[in-house]
Structure 1
Amino acid sequence: MNAPFPSPLSANPDLEAKPARRVIPIATAKPMGHNRTQKKRIAFQLAFFTLFILAPVFDILRYDLDAGHAWLLGMEWRLGMDDFVAGRIGALEAGANVMLRLFVPILVGAAAFLWVSWKWGRLYCGWLCPHFSVVETINKLMQKASGKPSVWIREPLPPWKADGTPWRADARWWLIVVPAAAFFAFLWAVVFLTYLLPPAEVYGNLVGGTLTRNQTIFLTAATCALSVEFLFARHLFCRYACAVGLFQSLAWMSNRNAMVVGFQRKRAADCANCLPDRQSACDAVCPMRLTPRNIKRLMFTCTQCAQCVEACEQSQRANPQGPLLQWVSNEAARQNEAGFRSGKER
């Protein structure tokens, strides 16, 4: 409010009215509708997962160890060092080739990637990353089997969906959890190998049962390691070990205007009856096991998947004031963080 409401004090010149505190409300985003955002996000994840598998097959991106050069968009990508070794070009020209063909594309791509992260956060993780799509898939399967999305969580999740309908865990889902983790691990191992060797050779040897000794060792070791990771350390890897995610988070944290999940703290009491037994729907759905209503620095690994936002929409669908969580940015993002600080001071 830019000016205080009229007060009887204004009629008395001896009394001086205190100026009203200027409040900038957190702007709310227009609700996307039930599951509309998640359908879009899953479509992006499926498309990028497909690209991840097929990129080596169509020479969109891969490095051929046998040929000693990379492939990019169907064309051979060489650094020009063969001409230098053969004496056809000098050291200066060879250095320029390496700079223009290797370092410049990497730096430009990294700059664009970090700019997106600086403005919108870990969108790559939540909307594209093939690893995170596996994380979410196995999380949901494990939750159906045990009531918990991870073996490291002590207490099971609330037995309620965001819309208030009950659900129950069923141990028979374990018959799908373990094979799914092993399947994804083997698929990833094969795809990784096609990024290093000709895909026709890898898939041909796999189908014909003629894998070489080195190929067999690689696929076996990678499948075992990834199976353990998918079963026991999925979101832990995303939170603590993924360098791609770390740099996105650092860029995001450096921008106070970046997009965040905003929380209307003045309506925090509405969270008390979000689910039966005084539990919160947004906490239950976060695949990174974060508390979405928290301050930004404690949401360091947020992937902007918007599952908490949509869970809040569903749980508050009968509330005329609407949901308490929404994506905010710019001044609204600053005020969202200021609200946490002022609340702590009070």
Structure 2
Amino acid sequence: MKDLNANHGKFTDPALTADGSPRATVALERAETLWFNTGSLCNITCANCYMESSPSNDALVYITADEVASYLDQIETRGWPVHEIGFTGGEPFMNPDMIAMTRDALTRGYEVLILTNAMRPMMRKRVQAGLAALITEFGNRLTLRISLDHWSREKHDAERGRGAFDRTIEGMNWLRDQGAQMAVAGRTTWDETEAQSRAGYAALYARHGFDIDAQNPAMTVLFPEMDENVEVPEITTDCWSILGKSPGDVMCSSSRMVVKRKGAAKPAVLACTLLPYAPEFELGETLAEAERDVALNHPHCAKFCVLGGASCSG
């Protein structure tokens, strides 16, 4: 993991900030989204991957359809008001149970969001056949959010490798032809305003006939960069009123993520989709254990969620 020297002395005590102030916590106010990390393996290595995914990182192993089904059962048992099931990775379509897990969630009545690079794993014939069937059967209840770091080939490939842009566009063209509902996830690291970035995406969508709204933040999501080496302030209980925000604005008030660690007998439930390797954000093996409050005790809590206002869900 990265060195946190820029935040030396901070983010150590779950109850108090470095200056002794009460640290902000977030309650699970409304469990709207349950995420599953399908595994940390990916077909490519990006320059700045949020999850440190790569063809060799198997720290998070493939979760199985039976394990996912167990948590879907727990949602009903606990009475969580979940409406959306999210799948992230790694690259989800590398998981051999991806189509089965998606079908199970859709059949139970949930909306499903899959985060994918739309490259070779998704374009295998077996996966294409299964995905096409799901799109035909469930329509817009299934959304595929495509990782397209920038609307230009040059900048996207600088992050993901030469040729990545064209392979992703190929996958998006195939999804378009199947009638799939698509969204896009980009980054704000580029030297341009948000308006310029959205205009670039709008032009790209128009060229390819993609029915994606570039101005809708839920359909074209622009994520801030998450560099743990950058100094960020800690979030105290007073910050809510100072910033004019509420704990309910933060992702962990409405979502949890399930992962399976290499060597673990069972999956675990985490507080946050962005911190799959941080043991202090592991809440237990069951959804019941995961209902406790979360201390905002990591730089991502401040920069990405509270100050950045970002959300992994739509």
TM-score (norm 2): 0.28
TM-score (norm 1): 0.26
Q: Would you tell me which structure has more strand in proportion to its own residues? A: 2
Q: Would you tell me which structure has more helix in proportion to its own residues? A: 1
Report the structure number with the largest CA radius of gyration: 1
Higher RCO (C-alpha under 8 Å, 6+ residues apart) = 2
